[in-house]
Amino acid sequence: MAHNHAHGLGGREAALTVRRSDSRRRMLIALAINIGMLAIGIVGGILTGSLALLADAGHVLSDVGAIALGLVAGGLAARPGGPRRTFGFQRSEVLAALVNGLTLVVVAVLIVVAALDRLGDPPKIAGLGVLLIGLGGLIGNVIATLVLSGGHRGDLNLEGVLRHSVADALGSLGVVVSGAVFLTTGWAPIDPIASLAIAALILASSWRLIVEPIEVLMESAPAGVDVESLGRDICEIEAVRAVHELHVWTVTVGFDALAAHVVVARGEDRDLAQRRIQLLLRDRYGIDHTTLQMEGEVRSELLGIEVDADSG
């Protein structure tokens, strides 16, 4: 059995540390902005009677929770592994992204229920107040979104927070439209209609946060990695006769892993073949955490079966 995660491991761990530190800094800035907007949105929604404004405040509240969850998950993921959790808590980032995606769905459903209830008898709102508060929220959300979007977009944990922020920016835009329409036309149904539009945007932003974490938790092959092509590339290495029991999965964002049994031609240097495979996986596929079982090729008649390899 040959197990490798030393070569390149320092680089991967350093990259993860830098990525998590940068994500944490960006999330803290976004958290401060969202807490301020939450207070303004709740007070403004109550004073103006606007459901769209309260719906947007509800999403800001989910943003605050999402950012807090992301910060906790990032801290847990940075902790070292132990005898029981050999990979540590690295998948806490993936779980946080999934929770954030599900939270977005719940928020959207609650907004839809409240909006449908208001459509039959839409109350009048303070259009000017809604417009001004919506503009303030839009500016704050745009700033928070720009801060978050400057981070590593492959980071599912950060992406979960970013999707909340983008949906909230769009929600604030809906609030601005609602306030402007009511202020100019007096058409009351615009408020619940804008709320429904906000809910649709929130649902759309939740899709990736649900699908991608599930793919990771189901240990699917990393996005962009063609396992069949990877297997063929390994077989093209000098002295390699076959590869089987090939598994590729993602531990967390930026940490892909691979395990395989590799059959090496009789009389060939298995250690050299292993090293060539490791370099191929690192340079072509970005995978440096590998577990390779190198097997020697033997004549099938010696085994009395049709398989042409046994464990080395």
Question: What string of H, E and C letters represents the secondary structure of the chain?
Answer: CEEECCCCHHHHHHHHHHHHHHHHHHHHHHHHHHHHHHHHHHHHHHHHCCHHHHHHHHHHHHHHHHHHHHHHHHHHHCCCCCCCCCCCCCCHHHHHHHHHHHHHHHHHHHHHHHHHHHHCCCCCCCHHHHHHHHHHHHHHHHHHHHHHHCCCCCCHHHHHHHHHHHHHHHHHHHHHHHHHHHHHHCCCCHHHHHHHHHHHHHHHHHHHHHHHHHHHHCCCCCCCCCHHHHHHHHHCCCCEEEEEEEEEEEEECCEEEEEEEEEECCCCCHHHHHHHHHHHHHHHHCCCEEEEEEEEECCHHHHCCCCCEECC
d(CA 89, CA 212): 18
Provide φ and ψ at 123, rounded to 5°.
Answer: -75, 160
- Predicted local distance difference test score (pLDDT) of residue 8: 47
Residue where the block lists tokens 């944990």: 157
Determine which of 4-8, 22-26, 149-153, 220-224 has the lowest per-residue pLDDT on average: 4-8
- Six-digit token pair at 263? 């059959």
d(CA 42, CA 54): 6
Strand 309-310 with 255-264, pairing:
unpaired
Query: Across the chain, what does the average pLDDT equal?
Result: 82
Provide φ and ψ at 246, rounded to 5°.
Answer: -85, 120
d(CA 26, CA 160): 13
- Predicted local distance difference test score (pLDDT) of residue 202: 79
pLDDT digits (tens, 9 = 90+) for 46-84: 888 777 677 777 767 777 887 888 888 888 877 877 888
Neighbour-count burial of 225, counting CB atoms closer than 10 A to its CB (0-12 exposed, 13-18 middle, 19+ buried): middle
Q: Which residue has the higher pLDDT, 124 or 217?
A: 217
Q: Alpha carbon of 24 to those of 29, 87, 97, 247: distances in Å?
A: 9, 21, 15, 32
- pLDDT surpasses 70 at 21: yes
CA 220 to chain CA centroid, Å, is: 15
pLDDT digits (tens, 9 = 90+) for 159-193: 878 887 887 787 778 778 888 888 888 888 888 88
Provide φ and ψ at 153, rounded to 5°.
Answer: -70, -15
User: Rounded to the nearest 5 degrees, what angle is found at the Cα of 117, between the Cα atoms of 50 and 34?
Assistant: 40
- Predicted local distance difference test score (pLDDT) of residue 95: 87
Q: What is the mean pLDDT of residues 233-258?
A: 92
- pLDDT surpasses 70 at 9: no
Closest among 217, 199, 221, 105 to 156, alpha carbons compared: 217
d(CA 39, CA 165): 16
- Six-digit token pair at 39? 């207070």
Domains, the chain, ordered by start: 9-217 (1.20.1510.10), 227-310 (3.30.70.1350)
